Structure 1
């Protein structure tokens, strides 16, 4: 790759001379494209990476100051790479995670590549932590956060014949959860009833017997069953109101 040796000194020199700025951008585009292709294959379209790298190049041209003693390439390369990394950090996460974890994930990825080459094996969590100067807990947190980088579609087939998708395995709304608190309070409320009242309630609501059938079962009149049932329900309502 060949790149030009000169670039207009500062944004001030380019003011009123847009053709010089355009010529500088055009001349250094091979550098931007080269850096963009270094990050290809990581889930982002190459065209998007080239566009992002070009934005970084334009920022470098507009901000470059030769008075700092750095040649343009030495200034432009980290500026372009920084723009590409921000693109990955800010736009490619399926679930938003703290920026610290996004940056840590990138650092862990680079450390894995470096250590695999130098060690001749896959690095351990301890290896990565030592290389980055962080704790093993930080590395594990970064790896956990990296799971948010990609998401799986709910329409993804999970059965051999493709008839079942991931979304089919998700549970629906369960109205029974709304009754859970009431059921918890029901036990103590039921315990306040006497033995006959408990028996009548059990036969009526669990045995699904009519009041006449209950009367025949326990040997009292249907009217008496009705009174006892009403009294038991009134007691329980009062207990449930106090308990909820």
Structure 2
């Protein structure tokens, strides 16, 4: 969709034919979706009938037990409620005229898209809509290039030159995600998967107890991801249950406001 959009904008700008053919845009994901926790869940968190006791079992084991009663049978390994994506455009596409008008109208005309609207009074300007029932937040940034590669390295200084203050605010979530992803993978792949599973479980715990979300004065998803990455680097070889136990033991007695680094 965004590639078709940027080629339409290039045509409207009357760029040379070779530039129209070469031009491209891309989407980057961040937040929990960008960290992989929705799709790489290794474990299922099952809530017992006491409603305050949790059991971690392997997903393969849970599949075999689904026909039996395990407490109340509640599980939290479904799909995420929203996706944080990010539209990266070439130099000629603007936020006001092209993102909030041309792309908005293209999305609005698609049958999969509903409840689309602008969010212009927030710290980060974005479009919010539902795509096939999944809520998507879509901010925008413009890079001083003609071709935006699909596998863009957003931390490359060449791409970050001449970005204004609004662009930096929009990039903050993607940059934080990229840093976290580079912290954990220099461990092993299995540790990365445990990180994703632990983050999913901790987020569920926080939401269940009403202590989740920076808008409410609590730790949000990105903050919990940083803490989870810290625990994985401290104990890279223990199991998931031990990681979760270490998470709560560590941060229950952390000498705040000392930074986690």
Query: How high is the TM-score relative to the length of structure 1?
Result: 0.26
- More strand, by proportion: 2
Query: How high is the TM-score relative to the length of structure 2?
Result: 0.25
Larger Rg: 1
